[in-house]
Structure 1
Amino acid sequence: MNLPGLLRPRTPGSEILRTALRRNAGAMLRGTALMGLYQAGETAFPIALGLIVEHTLAERSPVSLAVALAALAAIITTVSLSWRFGMRILQRANTTEAHHWRVRVAACGLEPVARDTGLRSGEVLTIATEDADQTADIVEVVPVLISSLVAVAVTAVALGTASIGLGVLVVAGSAAILAVLGLLSGRIGRSTKEQQARVAQAGAKVADLINGLRPLHGFGGNHAAFLSYRRLSSRARDQAVTVARANGTYAGTALTLNAVLAVTVSLAAGWLALDGRIGIGELVMAVGLAQFVLEPLKLCADMPKYVMTARASAERMALVLSAPPVTGPGPDRAAPGPGEGLELDGLRYGSLRGLGLRLPAGEFTAVLAHRPQEAADLLAVLALHVPSDGYQGVVRLGGRPLAELSVASVRAELLVNPHDAEVFAGTLRSNIDPAGSGTRVAEAVRASMLTDVVALHSRGLDHEVHDRGSNLSGGQRQRLTLARALAADAGILVLHDPTTAVDAVTEQSIADRLVQLRRGRTTLVVTSSPALLDAADRVLVLADGAVTAEGTHRELLARDQDYARAVAR
């Protein structure tokens, strides 16, 4: 999913940052104005204090003192309110922008066709959370940086009115500090980018391990898996230490340089006061400003680090947002023709060698693949996991080649349900009917033999399902995903081994009910289940990448010994 008008294919991280800045220009302008007012008020405080000392010593008037104190109160009020409302505006814009990018990255990950990112799901998750937040920080960083520079400029001007030398000293010192820190920030940006990549890899490893936890327990691979994760996590930790050292060096250098500048300005002001070239009030102002300028200088010093971190995160987001989909939409947006089924003509992909088959509309067809890879390659093409230029031959849906149809129109007509379909945290109902608009939920529950699971719990279909269905058995999870596929009521439904985790009696009941529910609809089941094969109108045998035999289940049992051995249980 691209961002029309904002984000083009192959968009670098810098363009993502520019997009964020343009989108929040109004909020940033208001925030900058208020934060500038805050910094100006902070700067005005030592200036006003110096003037109070100067005039109080000269006039010794209680009225003048009262007016001065009132002026200080007004300055303090201005500082408090401008900071409060300025940061409210900026943080709201920051949070909204982070939400925007999280949704965009998540939308890319949830598209019907996967993107060619080269990243695992755990890495995409890190990008959709941490990197999105750090990228959005640019909305807050820039106004704070500008307001801090304004404070430094006001300080330089104020000191320049007392002594041009003091003003020049602040300007030159600030420029030198920012130049030194700018060099250090580049190293931080490179180290942070590497750290984010390693943390994302470790997160992806954890997600993979949790997903395969039961198989790991089954063959005793727990310890090896733990060591594998530990190596990745250790590399992420080492890189985090490197980043921490760079940040520590940066912070220490910034603090030292700022302190040196403040001390230099204070000493220079004291020397000028002793020499009689500035008054006591100007000395108080100079010392106060020298102490005050530490804060805006620190903010200025920190900003390059935040900018580099935001840039590194934006570059990682660009990996997802600008990655092309594995299968793009065809030039023709028309829907496939009604009532013409599915046809494969001379399909060559992976282990498939000129596969040809036709599924007439309304027929229940089963495919027995002697090799699992042949089944996997067939389903990959039908599920649009392979671009149209990635295979030879033609796949027609409703009489039209897939290459001429949009992904949306194919998805509306053809549903491929894998044998390892995911179960999500939520309820039984939300897993069966995620959109909440299905009209065949009850029939799908009966056909998938999920009724016993529903009846087992007091809340029925509203029974809570844990992450990845961890509170369900393997057979219950499989029947749940089958119910979801049936509830979608697709014109053409492709199922892959939908009953491998259920017992023979339940399998027979599912086969019978599946035929009833899908009557008049085109259905293809890739399976070795005798019950499903026997229920099919026609069985195709797939061997050596092509259809080698076809007929009913019982006909094939009688004449094909290889088929009989493959389905024997």
Structure 2
Amino acid sequence: MNTPDTREPRTGSDILRTALRRNLGAMTRGTVLMGLYQAGETAFPIALGLIVELALRERSPGALVLSVAALAVIITTVSLSWRFGMRVLQKANTTEAHRWRVRVADCGLQPVARDTGLKSGEVLTLATEDADQTADIIEVVPLLISSLVAVLVAAVALGLADLRLGLLVIAGTVAILSVLSVLSRRIGAGTREQQARVARAGAKVADLITGLRPLHGFGGNHAAFRSYRKVSTEARRQAVAVARVNGAYAGTALALNAVLAAAVTLTAGVLAFEGAITIGQLVMAVGLAQFVMEPLKLFSDMPKYVMTARASAERMALLLAAPPVAVPGADRPAPGADLEVDGVRHGALDGLRFRVPAGEFVAIAAYQPRAAADLASVLALRVPPGAYEGAVRLGGRDVGGLSVDAVRAQLLVNPYDAEIFAGTLRTNIDPSGTSAKVPEAVGASMLGDVVALHGEGLDHPVRDRGANLSGGQRQRLSLARALAADSEILVLHDPTTAVDAVTEQLIARGVAELRRGRTTVVITSSPPLLDAADRVLVLDGGVITAEDTHRNLLAGDAGYGRAVAR
């Protein structure tokens, strides 16, 4: 029975050993069935030789009928063993590939990032191509063993006819594998580099698609295309180099196998001419010489597949074995906690201090966009606590000692560039399908006009990255998702930059009403949102320089008025 393995593998060899260990039962059944298939294939030319011997010696119709029946049994055995053997192995292969895809996705989506240096496009390649190629080891090993069985059975059968024929097969097999092992090592090194280059090209495509709109906006799409073409060309060159080695490997294997088959056939012919073997044994030897090319080819291809699987496993280990950027604590914040930022220095933040009591609606007017982005990143835990000075506390407890999942369940930070996913309006607003605040969130975010515009309502389809929505609609959809989550503490970063002034005013009122009694922080320069807040903190030069209501700040601070005036 397969058991889950929760330990993180450290190397590609660990990954392969894990895959082999938890599929041992399926591989054993597959090996037995595929070995039976190869043994049946080998038995066919042996049976033909015996039939010829029997026919020449006895000339009996009954013996011929028996021989034909024996051939029918062999053919049936070959057919059924192949069918069920490959079914067992391919099911195990597919299941194992699924396990590694899930494992890679789990590591890539963990709340604490891993220090791998891999881009999202490269992680995607790890979770698809590399996972599939690693799982191929489940089929490779049984096929390798069954091919060896076929070669050994053929060598024994030929050796019983004449020892020289058996020794020729064994010596030829050893020589072929020795030559091909050298080429397989080159394939492994080349494949690793090819996979890395293809992954980098995929990451470049992902980056370009994400930034396609701004690229078109300032005319940078042509330069971006040239950049991608350069990366893709490097991947193509490496793929061609690997293809050359693969071609040389396949050609060498085919030629050596053909030479061995020819050598066995010629040797058997000479022995038959000299009278050392019978006509029936000659027929068997010629048949085995032709048959043995298939298992030999399969046997000689296995090192290449092993090297490819190992290269893919090593790439997956880059992510799976990478340590987390930070090790979070296990404690949970108390419900109804306040939010405190104490002396945080990070990027444009220079000893930032402020406190938001539970239930208050606070707006932060950041004069420098970089400071706003840095503050949002720190609060969202995208920057680990050890990477900045100072502390962020929930209910007086440092977030570094709290569970990341628990913090994010209580503190939600909605970025200004939140992703929109393919699906429907409903699945974007309430991905888990558990929110009771969807109608209120739709109303507060002023998304109701988008819902009413389509006959499907909330079930209106949304394309990848919200391609069929305008910029303002995407922003309101993102805001609706944040409001529907109904978290205890909600941080919104520039939630209304893409909407008109009238809609912005209505959103400010809706958010203030829906979030009444819940802690809310809005990082914004929007006058309606600033006016809706209980108080406004002015963030300038990385610190809080002023604090009051929006209207009092407008009346007494000319710099504030210039910063937020529209």
TM-score bucket (shorter structure) = over 0.9
Q: Secondary structure in 1 aligned to 2:166? A: helix
In 1, distance between residues paired with 2:62 and 2:4? 64
TM-score (norm 2): 0.98
Are 1:181 and 1:301, in contact at CA under 8 Å, matched by a contact in 2? yes
1:141 is matched by which residue type in structure 2?
A: V
1:34 corresponds to 2:33: yes
Deviation at 1:467, TM superposition (A): 0.3
Deviation at 1:115, TM superposition (A): 2.6
Equivalent position of 2:288 in the other structure: 289
Residue 340 of structure 2 is aligned with which of 332, 335, 343?
343
Q: Secondary structure in 1 aligned to 2:480? A: helix
TM-score (norm 1): 0.97
Residue 497 of structure 1 is aligned with which of 494, 499, 507?
494
Equivalent position of 1:7 in the other structure: 7
The correspondence of residues 129-528 of structure 1 with structure 2, limited to 5 A, is 129-330=128-329, 333-528=330-525
Give the aligned length.
564
The correspondence of residues 100-139 of structure 1 with structure 2, limited to 5 A, is 100-139=99-138
* Per-residue deviation, residues 254-299 of structure 1 (Å, max 9, x unmatched): 0000001000111111111111111111111111111111000000
Q: Secondary structure in 2 aligned to 1:516? A: helix
2:165 is matched by which residue type in structure 1?
A: L
Stretch deviating more after TM superposition (214-223 or 359-368): 214-223
Stretch deviating more after TM superposition (484-493 or 384-393): 384-393
1:8 is matched by which residue type in structure 2?
A: E
In 2, distance between residues paired with 1:4 and 1:520? 45
Deviation at 1:4, TM superposition (A): 7.8
Deviation at 1:6, TM superposition (A): 4.5
Are 1:329 and 1:403, in contact at CA under 8 Å, matched by a contact in 2? yes
Q: Which runs of 5+ in 1 are unaligned?
A: none
CA RMSD of aligned residues (A): 1.2
Q: Structure 1 vs Structure 2: percent identity of aligned residues? A: 73
1:502 is matched by which residue type in structure 2?
A: V
Are 1:448 and 1:479, in contact at CA under 8 Å, matched by a contact in 2? yes
Residue 551 of structure 1 is aligned with which of 544, 548, 553?
548
Deviation at 1:327, TM superposition (A): 3.4
In 2, distance between residues paired with 1:340 and 1:346? 19
Q: Secondary structure in 2 aligned to 1:46? A: helix
In 2, distance between residues paired with 1:558 and 1:326? 46
In 2, distance between residues paired with 1:382 and 1:539? 18
1:560 is matched by which residue type in structure 2?
A: D
In 2, distance between residues paired with 1:7 and 1:495? 37
Are 2:426 and 2:459, in contact at CA under 8 Å, matched by a contact in 1? yes
2:8 is matched by which residue type in structure 1?
A: R
1:15 is matched by which residue type in structure 2?
A: D
Q: Secondary structure in 2 aligned to 1:8? A: coil
In 1, distance between residues paired with 2:440 and 2:88? 52
Are 1:328 and 1:407, in contact at CA under 8 Å, matched by a contact in 2? no
In 2, distance between residues paired with 1:145 and 1:381? 53
Are 1:6 and 1:19, in contact at CA under 8 Å, matched by a contact in 2? no
In 2, distance between residues paired with 1:557 and 1:113? 41
Equivalent position of 1:81 in the other structure: 80
Deviation at 1:5, TM superposition (A): 4.5
Deviation at 1:110, TM superposition (A): 2.4
In 2, distance between residues paired with 1:394 and 1:196? 41
Are 2:326 and 2:386, in contact at CA under 8 Å, matched by a contact in 1? no
In 2, distance between residues paired with 1:325 and 1:537? 39
In 1, distance between residues paired with 2:146 and 2:322? 37
Stretch deviating more after TM superposition (287-296 or 539-548): 539-548
Are 2:422 and 2:463, in contact at CA under 8 Å, matched by a contact in 1? yes
In 2, distance between residues paired with 1:6 and 1:360? 41
* Per-residue deviation, residues 510-535 of structure 1 (Å, max 9, x unmatched): 00110000001000111111111111
In 1, distance between residues paired with 2:387 and 2:223? 36
Q: Secondary structure in 2 aligned to 1:329? A: coil
In 2, distance between residues paired with 1:377 and 1:110? 21
